[in-house]
Amino acid sequence: MASAFRSSFAPRQPWFALSGLLSAIAALALALGTPSAAGRFGPTEQADAAIATTTAASRSLSTLAGASQWHVSGYRGQGLTVAVLDSGFRGWKQFLGAALPSDVTVKSFRHDGNFEAKDSQHGILCGEVVHALAPDAKLLFANWEPDDPDTFLQAVRWARERGARVITTSVISPSWGDGEGGGPVHAALRDILGDGQKAGDLLCFACAGNTAQRTWTGTFTDSGDGRHAWAAGVADNPLSPWGGERVSVEMVWNGPTTYSLQVVDAASGAVVGTGRGQGGAKPGAAVVRFDPKAGHQYQVQVRKVDGPAGRFHVVGLSSYLTYATTRGSITFPGDGAEVVTVGAVGADGERATYSSCGTSDATPKPDLVAPVPFVSQTRSRPFAGTSAATPQAAALAALTWARHPDWTAGQVRQALCHSARDLGPVGFDCETGFGLVRLPAEQTAAR
């Protein structure tokens, strides 16, 4: 079973420091339920507010959802350990005692044991968010082998053995599941985390992913030549790479059917790569990876080789699919019932267009959403995407648990979902779940 190893960063955008800071201020106001600065002040006042916020990024974030009031009351995540499972920790030591705690325990589960193998600070940014909101919580950092789900499970076990109560992961691996929360990796993860009812069970937060515009979910429909019809008369789904990054197209499904996944060069028709898989006792998976050529466009084709037509998911990583379905775009691990799945909203409370959504006929997802971007102290560009949303929810869980150490993981999860601010439509929905994550009121009873 192979899978691309991708963080859930939002697609590259021309972030500018000022606009990012203003967005962060507006997102903060949204979380607090007050008018945004951008709505009340003119350009000069907005700039002054942004400059003032720059020097107090973590303090500003700590006011999110009432966290600063909890800090004043002495609830800062003390006694809690939060594990950040991620791929990018390059240069983590330079941030100790500032954006990160002074002491962080790290472990690599890669085959080569290289904790800083990937040239990325993605995991450091996630840790920074946790530290800003739950400054007294202990942090664990771990990475794992990109194509080996067993090493990911080893990292989860290690986190539990090291005393973690909360895990946050903002990495997606689409072909490790079936897109519906099923499969052996999900089952093993559930066993490690526990059912949330016993002392010692863990609470795991996972990103919804940024694949709402690059996932197709539905039932195979023959176009007449054995290929799937993405729309009426359309058997080729145009694929647009973001740039020179390696592209991975991943397809998963349930049932005994054998499918073939193929990527071709749109101009020449040359086959770039083919993947083939058969479902059965385990979900079927087919993956095609390639290095795109500058200026080239590609097409994705799916053929049913054998077996009954059924439902499947196709995800493009580091690329966009022209024919995409927003619903059903959450992948492993966020599609699993065993995790708390977190999406992203903007300053207006609307789902970020890239933030992946669940479906009404699968495990209800996402569970919660959080505002982005986060103004980081470790880099000039704000931290966005569902990657930045997820550690916010994990940190608020740590604060809640520090205040209610006798609660179980299930009680903390229910308290956060119950306290979330519904963003509409009324009740749970497949775009924003139970709503904007907030700390539970002091009188909130665990149910």
Distances (CA, A) of 16 to 149, 230, 389: 37, 37, 19
Read out DSSP for 11-48? Answer: PP----HHHHHHHHHHHHHHHHTS--HHHHS-HHHHHH
Residue 377 has a pLDDT of 86
Please report, for the chain, the start and end positions of each structural domain, with discontinuous segments joined by +: 66-210+337-419, 215-321
pLDDT level of residue 6 (50, 70, 90 thresholds): very low
Average of per-residue pLDDT across 281-306: 97
User: Above 80 in pLDDT, residue 14?
Assistant: no
Residue 65 has a pLDDT of 57
Percentage of the chain lying above the pLDDT 70 cut: 84
Q: Are 258 and 284 in contact (CB under 8 A)?
A: yes
Residue 62 has a pLDDT of 52
53-67, 201-215, 341-355, 388-402: range with lowest mean pLDDT: 53-67
Residue 425 has a pLDDT of 87
49-63, 200-214, 262-276: range with lowest mean pLDDT: 49-63
Between 349 and 189, the more confident residue is 189
Mean pLDDT score of the chain, rounded to an integer? 87
Average of per-residue pLDDT across 405-422: 96
Residue 2 has a pLDDT of 45
CA 358 to chain centroid, in Å, comes to: 13
Average of per-residue pLDDT across 132-149: 97
49-53, 162-166, 350-354: range with lowest mean pLDDT: 49-53
The secondary structure element, H or E, covering residue 329 is: none
Q: How far apart are the C-alpha atoms of 121 and 90, rounded to whole Å?
A: 6
The secondary structure element, H or E, covering residue 228 is: none
Q: How far apart are the C-alpha atoms of 236 and 227, rounded to whole Å?
A: 9
Residue 174 has a pLDDT of 97
Residue 360 has a pLDDT of 73
222, β-bridge pairs: 228
Q: How far apart are the C-alpha atoms of 285 and 253, rounded to whole Å?
A: 7
Residue 268 has a pLDDT of 96
Read out DSSP for 351-414? Answer: BPTTS----SSSS----EEEE--B--SS-SSPB-HHHHHHHHHHHHHHHHHHH-TT--HHHHHH
Residue 64 has a pLDDT of 59
Average of per-residue pLDDT across 389-405: 97
pLDDT tens-digit readout, 59-104:
445 545 578 889 999 999 999 999 999 999 999 999 999 999 999 9
Residue closest to 366 by CA, chosen among 374, 354, 357, 379: 357
Under CATH, to which class is 66-210+337-419 assigned? alpha beta
CA 159 to chain centroid, in Å, comes to: 19
Q: How far apart are the C-alpha atoms of 29 and 38, rounded to whole Å?
A: 10
Radius of gyration of the chain (CA): 21
Q: Are 264 and 272 in contact (CB under 8 A)?
A: yes
User: Above 50 in pLDDT, residue 41?
Assistant: no
pLDDT tens-digit readout, 141-158:
999 999 999 999 999 999
CA atoms within 13 A on the CB side of 230: 19
CATH topology of domain 215-321: Jelly Rolls (2.60.120)
Model pTM score: 0.87
The secondary structure element, H or E, covering residue 242 is: none
Residue 378 has a pLDDT of 87
Q: How far apart are the C-alpha atoms of 157 and 164, rounded to whole Å?
A: 10
